[in-house]
Chain A
Amino acid sequence: MEDMIKGNHAFAEAAIRAGATFYAGYPITPSSEIMEYLSVRLPEIGGVFIQAESEGASMNILTGASASGVRCFTASSSVGMTLKQEGISHMADSYLPFLAINVVRYGTGLGTLDTGQSDYLRDTRGGGSGDYRTFVLSPYSLQEAVELIGHGFDLGDKYGMGTILHTEAALGQMMEPCTFPEMKKVERRHGSIDGTYSFERISPLYRDRRQEAIDEKAKYDSIKENEQMWAEESLEDAEYVIVAYGLAGRSATGAVKQLRNEGYKVGLIRPITLWPFPEKAFDKVNKDVKGYISVEENATGQMVEDIALTLKKTIQSSKPVYMFANAFGIPTMKKIKADFISVRNGEIKEVY
């Protein structure tokens, strides 16, 4: 088996293996080891590493790199990602792909250094000004993170969009073994700036924005149809379905296995794409399900809204959705099991 490796180092190496050759960013706990690793590793492969003067500047630098067709990425954490939103919005407007790794730390404003999932709504709704989305991918292990980073770059190139790897402080800081793919060589994207005016330049003044608006809607519809990803356990006969992503989803996976062994009919949906939200998973649930339970690492509940919205589209629109917010830390399997029992015993009021 492979050696233990720290999450942040694995994220950085995965991006390099996926063919990324350009990084610009600004350090922030708990993501800084990504930059530290890249400061040595990118020069080794002939790539470019830039510590920018600020988060905002790092996105402007990435704009140039992406416009030049280079596979590029950045990393930060929660409040640092807030500062990148201006650039993310501008890149979205120019259909420029990039990958941003958000190692979420819990809290509002400056927040804390603890692990959490408090940026769900910000990241899945675009985040900056305007009318756009980015792909939002959430891994529950380092192996899955490695795979999603490669996939995230490919999605970005395919659709001309940004991708956010939405992970947690705990996954960035923890260690476990994982295997990396071979180094991939990626050619510069066709149509990008090459210094010789090979392609027609389109001034913002002459863009057909009305047509673009129609095209954007069609593109997002196509993405929602084709790019949903999730993992599931025992949905066919489930009386209750737990929904959780990232490390909360990992803990919930264990809790659901234990509950099944104890004879409870409980299922699990673990969203891997947070945007597009895996609506299709809900079609597979037992039609007599009694309710859904959102398990999140925040204070107020965020994903619970997407679960309720998704149910509107199914024959289960009247089913209750419960929510357990677990600020400060990964919910333990013990806690998830106890919360499930309290829902089952009718001790908890639904959110929707």
Chain B
Amino acid sequence: MKEILFAGLGGQGILTSGLVISQIAVSKDLNATWIPQYGAAMRGGTANCTVKFGNDMVYNPAQEEPDILLAMNNPSFQKFVGMVAPGGTVVIDSGLVTCDTDVRDDITVIGVPSSEMAIEMGHAKGANIIMVGVIAKVSGDITEEDGISGMNEMFRKKGKSKFEELNTKAFKLGYNFKK
């Protein structure tokens, strides 16, 4: 079972990133849950969601000990880095997370300049999809093909297939990102 915590600023597409990963897992016949932090949230405030997936039933759908943390701003990194399981991975937007990230010896931190990469590829809103690609790769459970088809199917069903080409490109950029 994998536990992934997606955290950032409201409006960055954090909740959507989590949903895409969970839907990719479901399209592979795995069990999956997605649970948001909700409440008096606003655009520009903090947002996070937890996704769990695996062969077995997901018991507690809420945060226990994430294997992977996506942090898209400083407060998210600082708030959640302590929760990450030993041996876990933290993926950060290296342009947005500017605080000291060398805080634990037992985790791996991967910096991805996803916001800059998104602007470069002409899809400024696609940073979250680039990160979906990174996380799909890091999780070790999702192939590039399964990831792309699961993601595109989800957006197609939501009537948002017009971004398919850009999303596919963004996912590939993330999946094949090299430090």
Contacts and interface: CB of A to CB of B under 8 A. Distances in A.
A173 B59 contact: no
Contacts of B33: 174-176
Interface in A1-29: 1-4, 29
Interface size class of B (residues with CB under 8 A): 20 to 34
Given A3-B23, A113-B38, A176 B62 contact: no
Interface residues of A, number: 29
B34 to A, nearest CB: 4
Interface in B21-56: 22-23, 26-27, 29-36, 38-40
A189 B34 CA distance: 39
A174 B61 contact: yes
A3 B20 CA distance: 11
A310 interface: no
A113 B32 contact: no
A332 B60 contact: yes
B39 A114 contact: yes
Contacts of A30: 38
A4 B61 contact: no
Given A113-B40, A176-B33, A334-B65, A4 B23 contact: yes
Contacts of A2: 26
Contacts of B39: 29, 112-114
Interface string B73-117: 000000000000000000000000000000000000000000000
**In the A-B complex, the 6 residue pairs with the closest CB atoms:** A254-B59, A251-B60, A113-B39, A174-B35, A175-B34, A176-B33
Interface of B: 19, 22-23, 26-27, 29-36, 38-40, 57-65, 154, 157
24 contacts: A1-B27, A2-B26, A4-B32, A4-B34, A29-B39, A170-B61, A173-B35, A173-B36, A174-B33, A174-B34, A174-B36, A175-B22, A176-B31, A176-B61, A177-B31, A250-B59, A250-B61, A251-B59, A251-B60, A329-B62, A330-B60, A332-B60, A332-B62, A333-B60
